Structure 1
């Protein structure tokens, strides 16, 4: 294994870590949709017929009975937690490694985040550790799919049934993924997908959808997203809600490309498969990579793990190849959540510490060419040669 950086080759263009720019086809679709909505005699710009049509299409695509479009993934998670009955003072079990909203949304509704450790290989919530943290005031568990791997949903669902907990499945990064033939987002009482620009079905703006089979949860989210109004009697507020309404231009845009969602995911999967095939022989040299063809894979971020993470990142950067460390510090060690970190044995989360120290995300986006992917794989392989 080399620790020396390689000089950059000027003849080759950079391989950016991410590229959220719209292609010409999508730019034209956005222009056409903006014109269509702007000139529509109805002149309805939020929660109109396009949003309703998108909700129906996404529910059918996921195999769920209901879908409710919201203004962002963060608010979708907060509203879903409220809809399953989480109230102030309840405890909600969340992964110790992941995005900040996993815990912040719990606090935003007055509940208490309880950080469970993660499996050091999958970097998703460890069901055994999560169960060890259940108390008499635990109300829900939030498994989050991460990078290229779905959480162990059968185990999470089983522990929830044993303890009478609600499951809100954070499938923000996993739209289109399946585990044991069942779609991500449909394993719990409610699930959510995010449309943030860099997500697998990202769009030019914020947005998300909550999916569920339970009409009472669907109705609750619909009401909460619209300031507690029921959508029939305007200015009659049944509860304290928020403004998390969906934009009609973005709804029309997403509808216009929904038939390409499978194609977009397939391309990401193709790149991930190339990486995994190339990296499989490097396991004995210290590189952990997602397995090829594993069940329950999603293709948002392709992250490898190595104790030489920083040196590998520098090696790639020297060759013009982007990479990213997403969560360098586990959530309970962030200043914002220090009060909820726990002490002594309850504060130990070795899996999260390993994930934070070892993960490195490689380029995985629709702008990546086969040559870019091969060049990235070559550079990683050379580092471990």
Structure 2
């Protein structure tokens, strides 16, 4: 049984993420509500947010939508993925990797992950490609980006679509390419605990293909093209973005770089402090900044539950993500066959433990976490 973290003095995620922005958020709510235009979704604030992110990333288009999950659905649909198609996805990660594929009538095919970084193994992806495969969908996970320099040539070689589940990776860069833009499209999630989180639900699709952006823009709003209401060119979804939250994200965007830098510096301290713990059953992610996204910082611990209990005893919150690999989840068992095995994903599910890395942490907070982990490893 994992240890409770609700009463941690240093919670895994803090309750006051937006405390400094409280007054600004209240002012935005009043301004949008009182605006004579009464435009509450997909209005001028949303358009300005999309433009700001498009310019920042150098993307062909950025399309705001209702969530990172719905963004993946919209991208797959825009690329023509549908019934009978296979999409190769990681065996370890968040449910939308598979559920968005299933929602379109397609089949998720699970590839094992790298035993250290926990991102999908490109060789395992290649072994899962069949004549029915239409797309590869790697995911950036925890603090490491997927190996896109190896995965992208696979997509080209086999003439497959390439979609990035980059929901947690906003701010990450690999080989000079921002997360989400190595393939045809990616997504960012703005759930409050993400690197560009907000006080609500939402996300964006980012793409280097303007036509993909145009199609996603149509699909997010019931298949309408944005020019004439109630003319539906395709079957779409309701995945529209809130104007209050768009204005709030525009307010917080200038501070994103500093918050990302603080996360990176905390990760560097962790990497330095935990480098010698591998022989004691605690393995840290690879050090460095290239191809990193500091959403959470995840250790691989041989005695994961004991480490979580130890941290809780010292008032430090932690979180064990994904207790089962995706193909071992009841929801996706029908998409597996007898004899399938994902040993690295299974080991990750048993050993992964994420510790705090949010920008609110002070240097003494970080040292307290470092000390607690090291004391456990040396016991």
TM-score (norm 1): 0.94
Structure 1 counterpart of 2:257: 262
Residues 119-168 of structure 1, C-alpha deviation per residue, up to 9 Å, x if partnerless?
01110011101111111111111110000000000111010001111011
Residues 88-143 of structure 1, C-alpha deviation per residue, up to 9 Å, x if partnerless?
11101110000011101111111110011100111001110111111111111111
Q: CA deviation at 1:42?
A: 2.1
Structure 2 counterpart of 1:333: 328
Structure 2 counterpart of 1:8: none
Matches within 5 A, 1:107-118: 107-118=102-113
Matches within 5 A, 1:68-83: 68-83=63-78
Matches within 5 A, 1:215-364: 215-344=210-339, 347-364=340-357
Q: Please, which moves more after superposition, 281-290 or 235-244? A: 281-290
Out of 375, 380, 383, the position equivalent to 2:376 is 383
Q: CA deviation at 1:67?
A: 0.4
Preserved contact between residue 67 and residue 239 of structure 2 (Cα < 8 Å): yes
Distance (Å, rounded) in 1 between the aligned partners of 2:258 and 2:348? 30
Matched, 1:27 2:25: no
Structure 1 counterpart of 2:206: 211
Structure 2 counterpart of 1:373: 366
Residues 41-62 of structure 1, C-alpha deviation per residue, up to 9 Å, x if partnerless?
3221110111111111111112
Q: CA deviation at 1:20?
A: 4.5
Structure 2 counterpart of 1:142: 137
Structure 2 counterpart of 1:200: 195
Residues 33-87 of structure 1, C-alpha deviation per residue, up to 9 Å, x if partnerless?
1122122232211101111111111111122110000001110000011111211
Matched, 1:95 2:90: yes
Query: Residues 105 and 20 (structure 1 numbering): CA distance in 2 closer, same or farther, change over 3 Å?
Result: farther
Matched, 1:133 2:128: yes
Distance (Å, rounded) in 1 between the aligned partners of 2:138 and 2:278? 27
Preserved contact between residue 20 and residue 197 of structure 1 (Cα < 8 Å): no
Matched, 1:120 2:127: no
Preserved contact between residue 8 and residue 316 of structure 2 (Cα < 8 Å): no
Structure 2 residue matching 1:135: 3-state secondary structure: coil
Preserved contact between residue 264 and residue 289 of structure 2 (Cα < 8 Å): no
Distance (Å, rounded) in 1 between the aligned partners of 2:338 and 2:71? 31
Q: CA deviation at 1:21?
A: 2.5
Q: CA deviation at 1:294?
A: 4.0
Residues 295-339 of structure 1, C-alpha deviation per residue, up to 9 Å, x if partnerless?
101000100002111111111111111111001100000111111
Unmatched runs of 5 consecutive residues or more in structure 1? 6-11
Preserved contact between residue 280 and residue 291 of structure 1 (Cα < 8 Å): no
TM-score (norm 2): 0.96
Matched, 1:45 2:5: no
Structure 2 residue matching 1:281: 3-state secondary structure: coil
Out of 179, 186, 195, the position equivalent to 1:191 is 186
Preserved contact between residue 20 and residue 198 of structure 1 (Cα < 8 Å): no
Unmatched runs of 5 consecutive residues or more in structure 2? none
Query: Residues 13 and 91 (structure 1 numbering): CA distance in 2 closer, same or farther, change over 3 Å?
Result: closer
Query: Residues 45 and 243 (structure 1 numbering): CA distance in 2 closer, same or farther, change over 3 Å?
Result: same
Structure 1 residue matching 2:277: 3-state secondary structure: helix
